Amino acid sequence: MAQDSHLDMPQQLRELTDRNVVQARSAYIQFLGAMVQATNMWLGAMPSNEMTSGMKVIHEWAVLFAKQNGEACFAFASELVNARNLQDVVGIQSRYAQTQMRPMRCRHKGSGG
């Protein structure tokens, strides 16, 4: 099939790409951990009051969002590495888009929209 030949990659290149995604994920996790540690120290040094408690809630939400979004992106990249043809790529992209839109729909419904 002509469509398949466009995505034919040597197995060594697929393996190298897959290892790069794993290494990037590991670096992202380390970076996120350092960022969380630094902001926790910063928030811990602030006086406790209504404003700082609100900032802590926002911080926790932002960290959770960053972790979920990062994991979704790395899962998407890992799947793309193994795509064999254009149909696989379109399916992977479609699932990724649906997964990323799901939380937005839930937040929209929860806000009365």
95 belongs to a structural domain: yes
5 belongs to a structural domain: no
Average model confidence (pLDDT) across the chain: 85
User: In the block, which residue shows the tokens 């994920």?
Assistant: 25
Summarised one tens digit per residue, pLDDT across range 27-65 is 999 999 999 999 999 988 888 888 888 888 999 999 999
Evaluate if residue 8 carries a pLDDT over 90.
Answer: no
4 belongs to a structural domain: no
Q: What domain range is 27 assigned to? A: 12-110
pTM of the shown model: 0.73
20 belongs to a structural domain: yes
Give the lowest-confidence range in 18-22, 42-46, 67-71, 76-80: 42-46
* Element spanning 23, H or E: helix 11-45
7 belongs to a structural domain: no
Looking at the structure of the chain, the number of domains it has is 1
104 belongs to a structural domain: yes
103 belongs to a structural domain: yes
74 belongs to a structural domain: yes
Q: Look at residue 67 in the predicted model and tell me its pLDDT.
A: 92
C-alpha 4/C-alpha 84 separation (Å) is 7
Q: Look at residue 9 in the predicted model and tell me its pLDDT.
A: 78
